[in-house]
Amino acid sequence: MSLEQPLGSVIQGSLSQGLEVRLYPDISVEEMRVGKFLVVRGRRSHFFCMLTDVVLGTSSSRILANPPEPDNLFLQEVLAGSGTYGTVNLTPMLMIAEIDASQQASAKAAGKEAKGKNGKAAKLASYQVQSSEPVELLPVKTIPSHFSQMYEASERDFRAVFGWEDDPLRRNFAIGQPIDMDVPICLDLDRFVERSNGVFGKSGTGKSFLTRLLLSGIIRKQAAVNLIFDMHSEYGWEATREGKQFSTVKGLRQLFPGQVQIYTLDPESTQRRGVRNAQELYISYDQIDVEDLMLVRGELNLSEASLENAIILRNELGKAWISRLLTMNNLEIQEFCETKMGSKSSIMALQRKLTRLDGLKYIRNSCPHNYVGQILESLEAGKHVVIEFGSQSNMLSYMLATNVIARRIHHAYVQKAEKFLQTKNVSDRPRQLVITIEEAHRFLDPATVGQTIFGTIAREMRKYFVTLLVVDQRPSGIDNEVMSQIGTRITALLNDEKDIDAIFTGVPGAQSLRSVLSKLDSKQQALILGHAVPMPVVIRTRAYDEQFYTEVGDTAWEEVPDAVVFKAAEAAKADLGF
C-alpha cells in the first residue's frame, strides 16, 4: 500500500452502521464527496470503504451560540481542528488482506489450472501480475480498531479490487472511472453474462449510452452473443447524441461490421436512415399464440372472455386460428359457437380488435421463410443480432414482436441445453445468449410476468444459457421476484422513492447506498452493484466517442469498400432464398 498522508482517524463505529472518521485540521471537508473511496488501515487488514456522509462538528455548544464573524479569519483558523472539525461516515465494503509466501505459491499453481475461470485462486494469481504483494479480498465481518488511519484509495487498491482490462485470466471490461480518480473500474464480463442484469435510470440520464458500452464490451471480449430488441433504433446503426448541437454516435454495426447483423421489421424506415445490408424480418399469424395476446391485452383492450374464447379457437382451428378468425363471417361464427360452446359476442369482439394487427407492417398471413430460424443460425455462428423496429415502435408492435421472437428462440435454446446436459459434449454447448429489452417493466410487471417468456428467462437464470439485459426507467414496475434475480444493477440517477427501493431489493446495507444514489449527477454517473463487481461502486462512465471507437471497435473493417460489403450481402441473401 502507498504511504500517503493520512486524512483522518477512526473515532467510533459499528459493523452495522459503518465508521466515523474525524478529519485532520489540514484536510478540508470540501474535498470529501459522497461516493469517494477511501482505505482505512487496521492492524491486520485494510478496509476498502465508500464515503456515505459528511458532517460538521464542534467541541462546544458555545461556538454554535456565538460563532466568529465572517471576516474574523484569525479566530476561524484558531478554532479549526480543535473547536470545529469535520467528520465523514464510511461504509466498509471489502477487507484487503495480504497473503503469505506459502499461500502465494499455491495461488500461482492453482491460478494456472484455473485460467479462464472465476475461482478464488485465479483471482489471487491475477493480482500478482500487477504487484509483488498479492492480496486477498474478503467480505467485511469486523471493523478496524480506534484511531486507525484513513487514506485516499490508491491506484493499486483499485486494481486489487476491480482488476484491469488486460487481465489474461479474466474477461474484464472498463466501464468507467471513480468520480475523483483516473483509474479504470472493470466489470467481470464472464460473471456479468451468466446472470440477468439491469440498466436503470430516469429519462435523459444516459441509459442508452451505458447499454452501448456494455454491449460493445461483450462483443469485444466475446463473452456471449447478443440479441438486441432495438425499440428506438439506437443500437444497430447511427444514433443521435443528446446536446445543444446535433451530432451522432456510431452503432454496433459500424463498430463491429463483421460481427453484427441487423434485422428490420420496417425496411422502409431502415433504408431512409441509411442502414446498409439490413435483412427483412416478418412474423406470420400462425406464430402468434394466445400467450402473446395476453401480454398485449391492454393495448388491444381484450377482455377475459375474449381471451378464453381465443383458447377455444386455437384448440379447434390450430396454429392458423387468427387467419381463420379474421376471414369468418357472422354465420360462420354463429355455427362455430353452437358446436364448440363459444360466445358469439366475445369472438366477434376478438375478431374486431385483432384487425389492428393488420396495420403492423411486419405481420403476414404466412411467411415463405423461417426468419426466426435465420436469427438462430446467426447466433449459433457467433453473430450478434440487432432487431430494429423503425416506425413500428409503439408498445403493441414492440411487445408483440419481442415476445413472439424471444419465445421461439428460448424454446430452441432449451432443446440445445437439454441435449448438452445429456451428451456432456463441449461441441453441443450453446453459446451464452444475452437478450436486451427496453421498457422492461411492460414485460415483467407482476400482472403479466407469468405470460411473458422474459419472466421465465429471468427466473431460470443461466440454466439454459440465456439471460436478460433489461433497460428501464421504472424499476418499481418490475416484479419483486424478478428484481431479486437481477445479478448486476447499473443505475443512473433516480428520483422516485419507489424506484430507488426497487433497486436495492435484497441488497444488504442499502440505506447508506441510497444516499449515494440520490447524489449522482444527472449525466455520465452511475452506481454499479451486484454479481459482476466485488463491491458497489460509483463511476464516471466511460466516454462513447472517437477514442472509444479506436480502442474497442473492429477498425480493420473500416477500410472495406462499400461495394465489397454490398456484394457479400447480396450473395448471402441469395443463399437464403431472398
Report the run of H or E that residue 104 belongs to, with start and end: helix 101-113
Is the pLDDT score of 306 beyond 80?
yes
* Sign, CA torsion 325/328/330/334: negative
When comparing pLDDT for 257 and 135, which is higher? Answer: 257
Alpha carbons 447 and 478: distance in angstroms, whole number: 10
364 bridge partner residues: 284
Is the pLDDT score of 39 beyond 90?
yes
User: Mean of the pLDDT values across residues 297-323?
Assistant: 89
Alpha carbons 389 and 399: distance in angstroms, whole number: 11
Is the pLDDT score of 2 beyond 60?
no
Beta-strand relationship, 197-200 and 225-230: unpaired
> What count of Cα atoms within 13 Å lies in the side-chain half-sphere of residue 383?
17
Give the 3-state DSSP-derived string for 113-146, with helices as H, strands as E and coil as C: HCCCCCCHHHHHHHHHCCCCCCEEEECCCCCCCC
Q: Determine the pLDDT at residue 569.
A: 41
Buried-state track 550-564, b at ≥16 Cβ within 10 A, e below 16: eebbbeeeeeeeeee
Instruction: Report domain extents, the chain.
Output: 8-99+134-162, 196-282+368-489+553-568, 286-361
**For 248-261, what is each residue's pLDDT tens digit?**
888 899 999 889 99
pLDDT mean across residues, the chain: 82
Nearest to 334, CA basis, from 344, 349, 345, 348? 344
What is the DSSP secondary-structure string of 489-541? EEE-----HHHHHHHTTT-TTHHHHHHHHHT--SSSEEEEEETTSSS-EEEEE
Alpha carbons 175 and 385: distance in angstroms, whole number: 22
Of 115-129, 340-354, 359-373, 554-568, give the lowest mean pLDDT range: 115-129
Which three-class secondary structure state does DSSP give residue 343?
Answer: coil
The set of cell numbers assigned to 188 is: 467481470
Dihedral of the alpha carbons of 170, 172, 178, 179, in degrees to the nearest 10: -170
What is the DSSP secondary-structure string of 133-179? S-EEEE---S-PPTT-EEEEPPHHHHHHHH--TT-TTS-EEEEEEET
Q: Determine the pLDDT at residue 513.
A: 81
Does residue 544 contact residue 523 with C-beta atoms inside 8 Å? no
Q: Determine the pLDDT at residue 242.
A: 67
Q: Determine the pLDDT at residue 437.
A: 92
User: Mean of the pLDDT values across residues 273-298?
Assistant: 87
pLDDT band at 510 (very low <50, low <70, confident <90, very high): confident
Does residue 157 contact residue 47 with C-beta atoms inside 8 Å? no
CB atoms within 10 A of CB 408: 19
pLDDT band at 182 (very low <50, low <70, confident <90, very high): confident
Q: Determine the pLDDT at residue 243.
A: 59
94 bridge partner residues: 48
Q: Is 154 exposed, middle or buried (0-12, 13-18, 19+ CB in 10 A)?
A: middle
pLDDT band at 556 (very low <50, low <70, confident <90, very high): low
260 bridge partner residues: 384
Buried-state track 211-227, b at ≥16 Cβ within 10 A, e below 16: bbbbbbbbbbbebbbbb
Backbone angles phi, psi at 79, to 5 degrees: -75, -25
What does DSSP assign to residue 387?
Answer: E
* Sign, CA torsion 248/250/253/257: positive
CATH classification code of 196-282+368-489+553-568: 3.40.50.300
Is the pLDDT score of 125 beyond 50?
no
What does DSSP assign to residue 551?
Answer: H
Alpha carbons 72 and 74: distance in angstroms, whole number: 6
Percent of the chain whose pLDDT exceeds 90: 23
pLDDT band at 453 (very low <50, low <70, confident <90, very high): confident
Is the pLDDT score of 90 beyond 90?
yes
pLDDT band at 180 (very low <50, low <70, confident <90, very high): confident
Does residue 537 contact residue 527 with C-beta atoms inside 8 Å? yes
Is the pLDDT score of 58 beyond 80?
yes
Alpha carbons 246 and 528: distance in angstroms, whole number: 30
Of 218-232, 298-312, 382-396, 504-518, give the lowest mean pLDDT range: 504-518
**For 68-85, what is each residue's pLDDT tens digit?**
888 877 677 777 767 888
Alpha carbons 283 and 265: distance in angstroms, whole number: 9
User: Mean of the pLDDT values across residues 393-420?
Assistant: 89
Percent of the chain whose pLDDT exceeds 70: 87
